[in-house]
Amino acid sequence: MAVQMYNTLTRQKETFQPLEEGKVKMYVCGPTVYNYIHIGNARSSVVFDMIRRYLMHRGYDVQYVTNFTDVDDKIIDAAKEAGEDVFALAERFIHQFHEDTSALGVKRADIHPRVTETMADIITFIGALIDKGYAYEADGDVYFKTKTFLDYGKLSGQSTDDLQAGARIDVGEQKQDPLDFALWKEAKAGEVSWDSPWGQGRPGWHIECSAMVKKYLGDTIDIHAGGQDLMFPHHENEVAQSESLLEEPMANYWLHNGYLQIDNEKMSKSLGNFVLVNDLVQQHDPEAIRFFILQSHYRHPLNFNVELVEAAGAGLARIRTFLENVRHRYRASADFAESGRWLKKIEDFKDRFTREMDDDFHTGNAITVLFDFVKEGNRYLQEPHTSKDVLQKMLDAFAEWGDVLGISFSVEEDLLPDDIENYIEQRKEARVHKNFREADRIRDLLKERDIELEDTPQGTRWKRVSKS
């Protein structure tokens, strides 16, 4: 089965066909770096990191670009409030973005372009739009003539007539039409600015991504992605600018993740429910947060609260406990030849996982496959004889799925397995000779190092626990 993805542009699932066989050009709108990212930003980062990972898993060479808007009104205002240099503040929050998203298992993009490093390309892009009659200069500002792009509204599904009814020209703007939007803004006194043919200023938000996509990925790309809140006006305006200038589709597939709410309410500072990732990863296992995000389909709304994250953490712990038991059984097993039926079951689970992921990256259903596997695998562990081959294939399957989901299903161990096994063997000898004091001493020693022992009919198992 080929990968199917829901294309916002056509409002239907489509079979993915890249521009160049085996290669994918993918652009994801990144943050405006004036503060720590919130959980809504994190959802977008995690979701599109997962899609990138899955396309790579399916054999594609993915060129992945995510930008930083490192000059903007919000950044300028935040720097003034903090008494900090604009560029220093932006640099600080770019670093923090990498810290927070890395904690959530997000791999860095192949390229992280910045607005300040792409200024010459942005100015060239604007000049070309003016030359072609799609933009005009007005007292140091430059605006895009929205109605010259006849397909305006095709991405978001809005008509220019409907948009016209709610549009207005703000004080100080020199627009020819209320729907026109800024490509270049004249600098205010004391603001950071760049020289241009239209005077000192800086770019509008939308033109930045159009210029970066063209510079780093080309005139037409395979996938353009971002949060649903960016569909209009940001992505709509990108389409208008890029396709007016280049006369080619900007992207063949547009992907948007759904909104995130906090306890079924819109997240906002005024409601006091603004959840920053930097705070969250210090309070919860970051992989549990990622697991929580991926338990819902990326296009669906996602409701966040602490209880749901903790429930996701419990589910993740259940998978890890199963895999610890598999590893324990593997070390204790002799090779058992009757394994064909179980090897086929493992392949069937892998096929199910692939089918769910091929269906518009449905991680919620794919994770259900993992839990079904755990249930079936636990039955296998109760059998009197197990095959090392089957147990290894179980571990391999979860390693593969973990790489796709960006989650490690293994638990880091303070002790090497051989060390643990040596202690277990010493304790077994002590119990055989009824030296229960020594057996208890070894149990307590391991417990101090966060290793808990459990005596079972199949032998002594160990697992890693946290000190209370």
Q: Annotated binding residues for Zn(2+), as ranges?
A: 29, 209, 234, 238
SS3 labels along the chain: CCCEEEECCCCEEEECCCCECCEEEEEECCCECCCCCEHHHHHHHHHHHHHHHHHHHCCCEEEEEECEECCCHHHHHHHHHHCCCHHHHHHHHHHHHHHHHHHCCCCCCCECCEHHHCHHHHHHHHHHHHHCCCEEEECCEEEECHHHCCCCCCCCCCCHHHHHHHCCCCCCCCCCCCCCEEEEEECCCCCCCECCCCCCEEECHHHHHHHHHHHHCCCCEEEEEEEHHHHHHHHHHHHHHHHHHHCCCCEEEEEEECCEEECCEECCCCCCCCCEHHHHHHHCCHHHHHHHHHCCCCCCCEEECHHHHHHHHHHHHHHHHHHHHHHHHHHHCCCCCCCHHHHHHHHHHHHHHHHHHHECCCHHHHHHHHHHHHHHHHHHHCCCCCCHHHHHHHHHHHHHHHHHHCCCCCCCCCCCHHHHHHHHHHHHHHHHCCCHHHHHHHHHHHHHCCEEEEEECCEEEEEECCCC
Is the preceding omega at residue 286 within 30 degrees of 0, hence cis?
Answer: no
Q: Annotated binding site for ATP: which residue ranges?
A: 269
Which residues are documented as binding site? 29, 209, 234, 238, 269
Q: What does the alpha-carbon distance between residue 257 and residue 360 come to, in Å, rounded to a whole number?
A: 12
* 162 Cβ contact list (under 8 Å, min separation 6): none
Burial (CB < 10 A; 0-12, 13-18, 19+), residue 153, is: buried
